[in-house]
């Protein structure tokens, strides 16, 4: 199981210098990938371009970019720009977005997310390959081409939790990215469903990138209480509530990877046993807690 690490907003407010420092530390410690999430601050792709151009070598990924507010022509241009700027190190993770946010913040429709994602990917794929598209579909219209010299098409992953989206991810993408999804659900639901879909489409075995907060600490109970406070909203959002219910837990605090060095190692081994190909470590806590966590998790790579 590869181990990557998140950078930027999910770990707290970050300046450009902070982003570069986080990526440089990850590269020096041997992390397999650095991942940037789209939240309410840094643009995920821009943050990778900023830091990735200054830190060579380490693979980069988005986990994830919501697509409702980015037309396929726009996203293809952004992704290929990052590819050209960073020497083609990008994995492009995309998602349908949290429905409540898509409708309330952007005034966009959030119904039929799997159907929208399927159509979106049928347009995005050719654009990433530099091909011209002329698509007038039920949900998307796109006409044009994107050409960025030196850019190769990135691998695309799809945030998928439910059966319909997992079929889309398995059939049309290189795998999935999950968030707040525990090992029981990964082993019994996520991995089997997306693997069946990929096999039926004649595609290679999919990547399964499992993102979870992590904190190496001697105060497990206290940290889990803080995670419950910070990520409590996820426990009430239908998309995440569904996988938490599958796991049989109350909230994000119960699936987070928390404990001392040996406890965290055991929890990561359980993810690997579940069929996870990539663990996305999202360090949680104070600067001191994150420092201990970053180095302890790196020791497991």
Query: Over the stretch 211-267, which tens digit does the pLDDT of each residue have?
Result: 999 999 999 999 999 999 999 888 889 999 999 999 999 999 999 999 999 999 999
Q: What does the block give as tokens for 270?
A: 């359980």
Spatial separation of the C-alpha atoms in residues 184 and 247, rounded to whole Å? 6
Q: What CATH number is given for 161-301 in this structure?
A: 3.20.20.30
d(CA 116, CA 134): 17
Q: How many CA atoms lie within 13 A of 54 on its CB side?
A: 15
- Contact by Cβ (8 Å): 237, 194: no
- Please give the average per-residue pLDDT across 197-215, as a whole number: 98
User: Locate tokens 């999202």: which residue?
Assistant: 282
What is the C-alpha radius of gyration for the chain, rounded to an integer number of angstroms? 18
- As a whole number of angstroms, the distance between CA 203 and CA 121 comes to 15
Distance CA 275, CA 190 (A): 9
Minimal CA–CA distance to 262: which of 229, 212, 300?
300
Contact 59, 89 (CB under 8 A): yes
Strand ranges (DSSP E) for the chain?
2-7, 33-36, 60-62, 65-66, 90-95, 133-136, 141-144, 155-159, 175-179, 207-216, 257-259, 278-283
| Cα separation, 93 vs 81, whole angstroms | 15
Q: What percent of the chain has pLDDT over 70?
A: 100
Gap between the Cα atoms of 204 and 151, Å rounded: 23
Residue with tokens 């001392």: 260
Q: Which of 271, 263, 297, 299 is nearest to 282 (CA)?
A: 297
The band of 107, judged by pLDDT with boundaries at 50, 70 and 90, is: very high
Mean pLDDT of 141-160: 98
Does residue 198 contact residue 166 with C-beta atoms inside 8 Å? no
- Tens of pLDDT, residue by residue over 34-90, are 999 998 899 999 999 999 999 999 999 999 999 999 999 999 999 999 999 999 999
Prediction pTM value: 0.97
- Distance CA(49)–CA(40), nearest Å, equals 18
- 138 against 233, higher pLDDT: 138
- Tokens 């426990």 belong to 235
At residue 121, the pLDDT reads 98
Quick check: helix, strand or coil at residue 28?
Answer: helix
Mean pLDDT computed over 108-129: 96
155 preceded by cis ω (within 30°)? no
- Average pLDDT value over all residues in the chain: 97
- The better pLDDT of the pair 104, 178 is held by 178
Q: What is the mean pLDDT of residues 182-195?
A: 98
């Amino acid at each position: 199981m590869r181990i990557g690490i998140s950078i930027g907003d999910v770990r707290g407010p970050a300046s450009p210098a902070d982003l570069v420092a986080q990526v440089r530390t990850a590269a020096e410690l041997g992390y397999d990938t650095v991942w940037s999430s789209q939240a309410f601050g840094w643009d995920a792709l821009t943050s990778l371009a900023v830091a990735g151009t200054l830190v060579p070598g380490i693979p980069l990924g988005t986990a994830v970019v919501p697509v409702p507010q980015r037309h396929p022509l726009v996203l293809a241009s952004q992704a290929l720009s990052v590819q050209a700027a960073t020497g083609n190190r990008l994995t492009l993770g995309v998602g349908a977005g949290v429905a409540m946010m898509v409708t309330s913040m952007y005034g966009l429709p959030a119904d039929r997310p799997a159907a929208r994602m399927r159509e979106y990917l049928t347009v995005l794929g050719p654009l990433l390959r530099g091909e011209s598209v002329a698509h007038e579909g039920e949900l998307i219209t796109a006409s044009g081409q994107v050409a960025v010299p030196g850019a190769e098409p990135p691998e695309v992953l799809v945030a998928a939790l439910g059966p319909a989206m997992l079929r889309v991810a398995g059939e049309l993408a290189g795998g999935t990215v999950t968030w707040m999804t525990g090992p029981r659900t990964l082993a019994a639901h996520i991995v089997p469903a997306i693997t069946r879909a990929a096999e039926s489409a004649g595609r290679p075995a999919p990547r399964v990138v499992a993102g979870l907060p992590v904190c190496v600490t001697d105060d497990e109970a206290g940290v889990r209480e803080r995670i419950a406070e910070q990520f409590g909203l996820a426990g009430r959002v239908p998309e995440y509530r569904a996988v938490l219910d599958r796991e049989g837990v109350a909230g994000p605090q119960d699936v987070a990877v928390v404990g001392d060095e040996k406890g965290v190692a055991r929890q990561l081994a359980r993810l690997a046993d579940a069929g996870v190909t990539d663990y996305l470590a999202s360090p949680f806590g104070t600067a001191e807690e994150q420092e201990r966590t970053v180095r302890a998790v790196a020791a497991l790579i």
